[in-house]
Amino acid sequence: MRAPSLVASTAGALALSLAAPTAAANPVETFGMGSRSTAMGSAVTADATDFSANYYNPAGLVGQKHLLLELGYVYAHHDLEIDGKNNHVDDVRGMTVGTVAPGELAKIPFAFGLGMHLPDERVFRVRALDQTQPRWELYDNRTQRIVFAANLAVQPFPWLEIGGGLTFLAGTQATLDVSGELRADAPDQSDLRHQVDANLNSIRYPQFGVRVLASDRLRFGAVYRGQFHLDINIDANVAASYLGVGLTSAITTSEVDAFLPQQVAIGGSWDARDDLTIDADVTWVNWSAYQPAVTNVTSDTKLLTNEPALAGLVPAKTAPTVIVPANFHDRFVPRVGVEWRLPLGPEALGHRLALRAGYSYEHTPIPEQRGVTNYVDCDRHAISAGVGVTVHHLIDELPGDVRFDVHGQLSILPERMTHKDDPADLVGDYWQGGTIYSVGATVGVAF
Read off the amino acid at residue 359: Y
User: What SS3 class is residue 28?
Assistant: helix
Instruction: Report the C-alpha dihedral over residues 299, 304, 306, 309, rounded to 10 degrees.
Output: -30
Rounded to 5 degrees, what are φ and ψ at 39? Answer: -60, -25
* pTM exceeding the 0.85 threshold for the entire prediction: no
CB 7 within 8 A of CB 180: no
Nearest CA-CA partner of 254 in 230, 233, 239: 233
Q: Which residue has the higher pLDDT, 209 or 392?
A: 209
pLDDT tens column, 58-68: 999 999 989 99
Q: Which helix (H) or strand (E) holds 25?
A: none
Locate the DSSP E strands across 183-275: 191-213, 218-225, 228-242, 245-260, 263-273
Domain ranges of the chain: 2-446
User: Read out DSSP for 262-285?
Assistant: -EEEEEEEEEEETTEEEEEEEEEE
Average pLDDT over residues 415-422: 95
For residue 129, what is the enclosing H or E element? none
The number of residues in the chain equals: 447
CA angle 212, 214, 216 (to 5 degrees): 115
**pLDDT of 327:** 92
Q: Which amino acid is at 261?
A: P
Task: Read off the pLDDT of each residue in 201-210 and give the average, rounded to a whole number.
Answer: 85
Q: What is the CATH number of domain 2-446?
A: 2.40.160.60
Distance CA 75, CA 408 (A): 10
- Checking if the pLDDT of 49 tops 80, the result is yes
Return the minimum-mean-pLDDT range out of 174-178, 210-214, 222-226.
Answer: 174-178
DSSP string computed for 290-354? ------EEEEEEEEE-S-HHHHTTS-SBPPPP-PPP-----EEEEEEEEEEEEE-SSGGG--EEE
